[in-house]
């Protein structure tokens, strides 16, 4: 996955664990790779103000 996206394995791991928010171009690459929309893959966690 990292090779396909042109990033390090550490970057993919950080994205998966929610420790890193990908750039918009990287988010589009991920979405295209899995044939999904960005919204299907990346969702904001609700905050106290939105609950």
Please report the pLDDT score of residue 44 as a whole number.
73
- C-alpha 38/C-alpha 49 separation (Å) is 23
Q: What is the pTM of this model?
A: 0.75
Length of the chain: 51
Q: Which two tokens stand for residue 4?
A: 């396909």
Domain residue limits, the chain: 2-39
Q: Write out pLDDT tens, residues 1-51.
A: 999 999 999 999 999 999 999 999 999 999 999 999 999 988 876 666 555
- For 13-31, letters b (16+ CB in 10 Å) and e give eebeeeeeebeeebeebbb
The CATH number, out of the four listed (1.10.1750.10, 2.70.98.60, 1.10.3720.10, 1.10.260.40), of the domain defined by the range 2-39: 1.10.260.40
- C-alpha 45/C-alpha 42 separation (Å) is 9
């Amino acid at each position: 996955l990292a090779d396909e996206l042109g990033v390090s394995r550490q970057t993919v791991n950080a994205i998966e664990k929610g420790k890193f928010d990908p750039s918009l171009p990287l988010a589009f690459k991920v979405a295209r790779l899995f044939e999904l929309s960005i919204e299907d893959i990346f969702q904001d966690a609700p905050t106290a103000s939105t609950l």
